Amino acid sequence: MNIIYDEKNETFLLHTEKTTYGIAVVDGRYLEHMYYGASLDNADIRYLLREDENPGVPSANKRETGAFLDCAPMEFPETGMGDYRESAFCIRSMSGYRASELTYEGYAVEDGKPELEGLPATWGEKENCRTLKLFLRDRLLGARVTLLYSVFESSDAVTRSVIVENKGEEPFYIEKILSACLDMDDRGFEVLGLFGSWARERHVQRMPLGYGRQNIASFKGNSSHQEHPFMALVTPGTTQDSGEVYAMNFVYSGNFIAQAEKNQFDSVRMMMGIHPEGFTWKLEPGQCFTAPEVVMTYSSEGLGKMTRTFHDLYRNHLIRSPYLHEKRPILINNWEATYFDFDEKKLLEIAEEASELGIEMLVMDDGWFGKRSMDDSSLGDWYVNEEKLKGGLNALVENVKQTGMKFGIWVEPEMISPESELYRKHPDWAIQIPGRDITQSRAQYVLDLSREEVADEVYEMIAAVLRSADISYVKWDMNRQIATMGSSSLPDDRQGELAHRYILGVYRMQERLITDFPELLLENCASGGGRFDPGMLYYSPQIWCSDDTDAVERLAIQEGTAMLYPVSAIGAHVSVCPNHSVGRTTPFETRGDVALLGTFGYELDITKLSPEEKDLVKVQVEKYHKYNDLIREGDYYRLASAAENRYYDSWMIVEKDKSRALLFYVQVMARANAKSRFIRLAGLDPERRYEAEGKEYTGNTLMQAGIRIPAEFGDFKSRLIEIRGR
């Protein structure tokens, strides 16, 4: 962890343990990108800028600034001055001109990491983090731009953000502000992203990067089920343990764009930030705007090294929950057991049976409030329906606690039903465009959380419920995306601020929740995995991964999710078969093994299980307690992907000191006349001896030759193998 400024060469080098990031000042005014890759010493690498090649720098070539701007590797490219590639920054003046000309003014290096006002972001102390600030100014408009770069002692990550201040005498409009740009020569890159839909989120897709622009984006109001705020550029043939990877992940939960562009000179521009679609921010004199953070990492050791960098950074410098390093209670959620058809007797019946089997928390899902008996009413009416829960919430909670169980509750604070007391009282609180019908989804509208009075009233209703009983857990849901974007509280020329202000309102509410209820276990959810992103992890240590709980479908969903996020953040449950999403029947053992790669719990009516299945629940609970510390804190290695090979899936978790590991294997599709399969392990100490299933091996043998997995009769069979160092 070091930041070096070479005054003679006007260059900056940011060093992590295994990477170096280089920036140079060119012609006394432009910031250019020199290098990002494997560690370098502090030698002069300015030659990488090709400053002596045509067209040269503007001070030497008096007639050709445009050609320079259109090919130079710019650190923070702008609109309107001659760089015709995608820009990171666009300002519109009050006169209507869309251009800026940022000139380098200076720098500062600080120990630690400044907070980003109102935004989630990684954090670091003075002892383990340093930050470089680069200052630029547009003298005509009075815009002062600060580029922030932070490096960490124990991570090969670089975080980036941007702050814009209006130091001028009149307002201007920010029409585009991305948080990170990376210009470099193409090396036959391929684009890696995560795509999907509801119930099949974050499937891995890889495609060649051709000329032009390829983007991954959402302007749905959230980070979305369909596309994910992550992009990686990988060299051809990159695997889990070899090849080069350049990756970006956005610490933000709203509209985003990640884009890679290959131009006429075979250079590549990779960018990430707030999606400019519909975005405008009016910045008055004296005000500032802070862009959300991008986490960047480079790996010369394949995708696995990228994954473990993200995991460790997020565990050590993003997630703040007191539950981060704690074993989470095994919960049972009543949603797939009852849907809306429940009362206090049914919930207590589930709790009593679950407690007998070792389950530790009952979560009451949708349907407990207002007059809610279907999904067409009462969102916004956050008071207990005592016709359904006779005796009230506190009586139910105390009765559940008598079984030895904790109690959790589901809420959807961001939404409002047209059929609700709150909407009848405040119809203007819904996001809407005057004169147009509000687009309904699931018979609900979206509350305008950019307005503090709206957020405050909804928060106080929910907080009153939480104060009324001993509630240990909250599942915060968001079941639709946003349309008809308009706010009655914003003037005409600020309507483009709504999407970002909405997300800031969500962040304010969640910060208030975990501050007022510091022992609360918060789990975020958005109709399943529609808002599984680093921004949400800042407030909750776990996120519901997908509404699809089928063990086979979850293999691909959890593979893509675990590519970026610690497995302790993945909400994963055992559900009933035939599965409610796909109708598939899988062995109860396999459902349990797949759900172990996550927070672990149950999504079923436990009172209807057979005696054999109840015995298996006890076995699964025992496995969870035996292995969760390792799964939660260990290093994750992806060994095989059923999405690629169609037949089997495998991953493992290795203790940080390499003393123990856990191998997961799922035979997805059985094959006729098939022999056993050898799975080569990863992450072990090659010199150490290990015991697995009664046999002894060296770590080198297990990693080079592999462990033998017999072929089984039947589909969807799983194996869990503990590997212990001697």
Q: Are strands 190-195 and 230-234 parallel, antiparallel or unpaired?
A: antiparallel
- By the 8 A CB rule, do 359 and 603 touch? no
Q: Could you give the percent of the chain with pLDDT greater than 70?
A: 100
Residue 723 reports pLDDT greater than 80? yes
In this structure, the chain runs to a length of 726
pLDDT of residue 575 exceeding 90, the answer is: yes
Considering the candidates 138, 448, 477, 548, report the single residue annotated as catalytic. 477
**What CA–CA distance (Å, rounded) separates 487 from 312?**
40
| DSSP symbol at 419 | S
312 is catalytic: no
Q: Tell me whether domains 2-317 and 331-414+453-480+520-632 share a fold.
A: no
Q: What is the pLDDT, as a whole number, of residue 306?
A: 98
Cis-peptide, bond into residue 578, ω within 30° of zero: yes
pTM of the complete model: 0.97
Q: At 520, which amino acid appears?
A: L
Measure the CA angle with vertex 358, ends 353 and 364; round to 5°. 60
1 pLDDT higher than 80: no
Which tens digits make up the pLDDT trace of 106-130? 999 999 999 999 999 999 999 999 9
In tens, the pLDDT along 670-697 reads 999 999 999 999 999 999 999 999 999 9
Of 533, 547, 550, 649, which residue is the catalytic one? Answer: 547
Question: Concatenated DSSP letters for 579-627?
Answer: -TTT-----HHHHHHHHTSSS-EEES-GGGS-HHHHHHHHHHHHHHHHH
C-alpha distance from residue 103 to each of 57, 77, 134 (Å)? 15, 12, 11
* Average pLDDT of the residues of the chain: 97
397 φ/ψ angles, rounded to the nearest 5 degrees: -60, -45
What is the rounded distance in angstroms from the CA atom of residue 542 to the CA atom of residue 524? 7
Return d(Cα 87, Cα 80) in angstroms, integer: 9
pLDDT, mean of residues 10-25:
97
* Contact (Cβ atoms closer than 8 angstroms) between residue 313 and residue 569: no
What CATH code is assigned to 2-317?
2.70.98.60
Query: What pLDDT, on a 0 to 100 scale, did the predictor assign at position 545?
Result: 97
The CATH number of the structural domain formed by 639-725 is 2.60.40.1180
* 376 is annotated as an active-site residue: no
Q: Please determine, for residue 61, whether its predicted confidence score (pLDDT) is greater than 90.
A: no
Longest CA pairwise span in the chain (Å): 85
Q: According to the model, what pLDDT value does residue 397 have?
A: 98
Phi, psi (deg, nearest 5) at residue 398: -65, -35
3-state secondary structure of 373: coil
**Helices assigned H by DSSP within 271-420:** 302-317, 335-338, 344-356, 392-402
What value does the CA radius of gyration of the chain take, rounded to a whole number of Å? 27
Task: Compute the Cα dihedral for 327, 154, 684, 557 and give only its sign.
Answer: positive
> Which tokens belong to 582?
């796909």
Which CATH number does the domain 331-414+453-480+520-632 belong to among 3.50.50.60, 3.40.50.920, 3.40.50.300, 3.20.20.70? 3.20.20.70
Calpha distance 204→187 (Å, rounded) = 21
What residues have CB less than 8 Å from 226, skipping those under 6 apart? 195, 196, 197, 218, 220
Tokens of 704: 């080079």
CB 462 within 8 A of CB 476: no
End-to-end, the C-alpha distance of the chain in Å comes to 35
Whole-angstrom distance, CA of residue 177 vs CA of residue 157: 22
User: What is the spatial distance between Cα 275 and Cα 254, in angstroms, rounded to a whole number?
Assistant: 9
- Confidence band for 259, pLDDT divided at 50, 70 and 90: very high
Q: Is the pLDDT of residue 32 over 90?
A: yes
Give the whole-angstrom CA distance, residue 413 versus residue 393. Answer: 18
Domain extents in the chain: 2-317, 331-414+453-480+520-632, 639-725
pLDDT of 455-500, one tens digit each? Answer: 999 999 999 999 999 999 999 999 999 999 999 999 999 999 999 9
Distance separating alpha carbons of residues 134 and 145, to the nearest angstrom: 8
**Three-state DSSP class for 68?**
helix
Q: What is the DSSP letter of 500?
A: H
Is a pLDDT exceeding 90 seen at residue 42? no
Residue with tokens 């949603």: 335
Residue-wise pLDDT for 607-663, tens only, equals: 999 999 999 999 999 999 999 999 999 999 999 999 999 999 999 999 999 999 999
